[in-house]
């Protein structure tokens, strides 16, 4: 249930988009740890089965704790946007057990054997493997190009009429490449393709792909939306409510990628502070990037908020702030990179991203270790590259930990 008061700021939306209504007057939406729901009479059961709201029947189909998180994400992603009639945009969100589950629903419900997906080469590893292993097996081909070159995008669309869906991740792992959403969206419309956007790195606070014409937006809620690293989750958002309530919902529930009440509860708590956290993540990241760029042990910094980044202009055009992810190269290559990681005292050695603490990983030996050296180099993943998700600690402590780890390398 939405707030009756007009909400003009995104934190108000994050806190009040989902109301307090429940039979027990609990202030915070409870963890509904129940697989099924009861019917007072046979008739009320029949009504719930045939009605539009299927969240109080069986928890694979929905659960009030999931609904609370879904309403909040839908309101955040639609915040301040208008639909084609000039009315407040209304979105439907489907919460899943993981980002990968939400992505599977997104692709499987929109594609069939014989279709082709067009995408960019810098992709989340799981997305890439889903294309190669799962979708390929289901008869869906993938064409991977450099989508930062719009001429290549248009040429691919012109040449191959089996391209039904364009999937974009911006900014993307680990070199923070960005793709022009408005331009790609215009081409998608022109060639009758669906546009899906992975908005995990940006969050709806920094970038709203529906504003540029995206058809579906995807998030791994595991990252900034949860923010505290307490649960895996994913969400699929769509503006075609009829599709979301029929085909989208059907694929989601039949493939069984439902969330659970505890994870949904943790996600709802995390999202309330999204704006506060993101402001701090972002200001810290900007300072860290500028500091690293000056450091004598650092060869190169990939941060889309630095003018030296090739996609700086695109990031500035479509994002409120360039975000909290970056990668950098040590002059000493692989050996220096591994020594640097080992010497860290506060920053945490872990993959994943978007948590309140600063996380540092080494793509060549961790997230991208399954790729060949040639493939890695094509993606800009050199042996000495370090990936960093800047946290919300006090900036002086982040910089001093980096300084002591870089000393002597
Ligand atoms: C983590 C992540 C995913 C996958 O989400 P899971 O929650 O791990 O299943 C997809 N895309 C991006 C950009 C991610 O960072």
Examine the pLDDT at 3 and tell me if it is beyond 70. no
Q: What is the mean pLDDT of the chain?
A: 95
How far is Cα of residue 391 from the mean position of the Cα atoms in its chain? 17
Q: Give the pLDDT score at 20.
A: 78
pLDDT higher than threshold 70 for residue 91: yes
Tell me the Cα Rg of the chain: 22
Mean pLDDT of 184-193: 98
Burial class (CB in 10 A: 0-12, 13-18, 19+), 27: exposed
What are the start-end ranges of the H helices in 114-202? 125-129, 136-137, 150-159, 181-190
Residue 170 alpha carbon to ligand 1 centre in Å: 13
Pick the CATH number of 275-406 from 3.90.1150.10, 3.40.50.12140, 3.40.630.10, 3.40.50.720: 3.90.1150.10
**pLDDT on residue 270:** 98
Whole-number pLDDT of residue 313: 98
- How far apart are alpha carbons 127 and 197 in whole angstroms? 12
Q: Is the CB of 100 under 6 A from ligand 1?
A: yes
Instruction: Tell me the mean pLDDT in the region 195-201.
Output: 98
Q: Which pairing describes strands 92-96 and 234-238: parallel, antiparallel, or unpaired?
A: antiparallel
Bond preceding residue 171 cis, omega within 30 of 0: yes
**Residue whose CB lies within 8 A of the most ligand 1 atoms, among 222, 352, 353, for a mutation test:** 222
The residue with greater pLDDT, 275 or 372, is 275
pLDDT band at 372 (very low <50, low <70, confident <90, very high): confident
368 vs 260, more confident? 260
Report, as an integer, the average pLDDT of 92-96: 98
265 CA distance to ligand 1 middle (Å):
19
Q: What's residue 53's pLDDT?
A: 83
User: Mean of the pLDDT values across residues 188-196?
Assistant: 98
Cβ of 222 closer than 6 Å to ligand 1, yes or no, is yes
CB count in 10 Å sphere of residue 313? 13
Query: Which residue has better confidence, 52 or 166?
Result: 166
Q: Give the pLDDT mean for 198-203.
A: 98
Burial class (CB in 10 A: 0-12, 13-18, 19+), 133: exposed
Residues 59-64, mean pLDDT to the nearest whole number: 96
On the question of pLDDT at 138 being above 70, the answer is: yes
pLDDT at 2: 58
Residue range 274-333, pLDDT digits in tens: 999 999 999 999 999 999 999 999 999 999 999 999 999 999 999 999 999 999 999 998
Q: Is the CB of 125 under 6 A from ligand 1?
A: no
Q: Is residue 109 in contact with ligand 1, taking CB distance under 6 Å? A: no
Q: What tokens were used for 173?
A: 């792992």
- Interval between CA 49 and ligand 1 midpoint (Å): 33
**Which distant-in-sequence residues (6+ apart) come within 8 Å of 289 by Cβ?**
301, 303, 305, 306, 326
Residue with the nearest Cα to atom 4 of ligand 1? 99
CATH 3.40.640.10 fits 10-271, yes or no: yes
- Interval 6-11 mean pLDDT: 93
Please enumerate in sequence order all residues whose Cβ is within 8 A of that of 42, keeping only pairs 6 or more positions apart, or say none: none
208 lines ligand 1 (CB under 6 A): no
Separation between Cα atoms, residue 391 and residue 260, nearest integer Å: 27
Tell me, rounded to whole angstroms, the distance of Cα 74 from its chain centroid: 13
Say if residues 75 and 69 touch (Cβ distance below 8 Å). no
What does the alpha-carbon distance between residue 1 and residue 20 come to, in Å, rounded to a whole number? 8
Please check the confidence at residue 377 and state whether its pLDDT lies above 60.
yes
pLDDT score at 1: 47
Q: How many Cβ atoms are within 10 Å of 227's Cβ, its own excluded?
A: 26
Residues 6+ apart with CB under 8 A from 3: 12, 16, 17, 19
Q: Is 196 in the pocket of ligand 1 (CB under 6 A)?
A: no
Q: What is the DSSP letter of 262?
A: H
Domain ranges of the chain: 10-271, 275-406
- Across the range 351-359, mean pLDDT stands at 97
Of the listed ranges 46-50, 215-219, 294-298, 323-327, the least confidently predicted one is 46-50
């Amino acid at each position: 249930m939405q707030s009756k008061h007009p909400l003009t700021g995104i934190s108000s939306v994050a806190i009040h988009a989902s109301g307090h209504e429940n039979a027990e007057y609990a202030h915070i939406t409870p963890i509904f740890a129940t697989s099924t729901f009861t019917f007072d009479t046979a008739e009320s059961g029949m009504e719930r089965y045939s009605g539009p709201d299927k969240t109080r029947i069986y928890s694979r189909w929905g659960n009030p704790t999931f609904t609370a998180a879904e309403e909040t994400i839908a309101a955040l992603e639609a915040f301040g946007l208008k639909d084609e009639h000039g009315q407040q945009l209304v979105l439907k969100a489907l919460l899943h057990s993981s980002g990968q589950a939400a992505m599977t629903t997104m692709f499987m419900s929109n594609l069939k054997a014989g279709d082709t997906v067009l995408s960019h080469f810098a992709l989340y590893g799981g997305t890439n493997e889903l294309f190669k292993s799962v979708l390929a097996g289901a008869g869906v081909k993938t064409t991977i190009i450099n989508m930062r070159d719009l001429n290549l995008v248009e040429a691919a669309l012109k040449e191959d009429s089996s391209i039904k869906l364009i999937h974009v991740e911006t900014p993307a792992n680990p070199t923070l490449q960005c793709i022009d959403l408005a331009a790609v969206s215009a081409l998608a419309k022109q060639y009758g393709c669906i546009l899906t956007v992975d908005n995990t790195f940006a969050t709806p606070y920094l970038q709203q792909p529906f504003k540029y014409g995206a058809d579906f937006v995807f998030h791994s809620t595991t990252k900034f939306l949860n923010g505290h690293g307490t649960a895996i989750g994913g969400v699929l958002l769509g503006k075609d409510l009829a599709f979301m309530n029929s085909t989208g919902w059907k694929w989601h529930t039949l493939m069984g990628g439902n969330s659970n009440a505890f994870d949904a509860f943790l996600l709802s708590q995390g999202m309330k502070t999204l704006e506060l956290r993101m402001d701090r993540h972002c200001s810290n990241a900007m300072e860290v990037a500028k500091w690293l760029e000056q450091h004598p042990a650092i060869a190169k910094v990939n941060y889309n908020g630095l003018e030296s980044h090739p996609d700086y202009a695109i990031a500035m055009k479509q994002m409120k702030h360039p975000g909290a992810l970056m990668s950098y190269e040590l002059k000493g290559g692989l050996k220096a990179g591994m020594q640097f990681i080992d010497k860290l005292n506060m920053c945490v050695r872990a993959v994943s991203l978007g948590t309140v603490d600063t996380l540092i990983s080494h793509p060549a030996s961790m997230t991208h270790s399954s790729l060949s050296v040639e493939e890695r180099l094509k993606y800009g993943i050199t042996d000495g590259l370090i990936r960093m998700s800047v946290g919300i600690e006090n900036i002086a402590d982040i910089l001093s930990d980096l300084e002591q780890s870089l000393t002597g390398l």
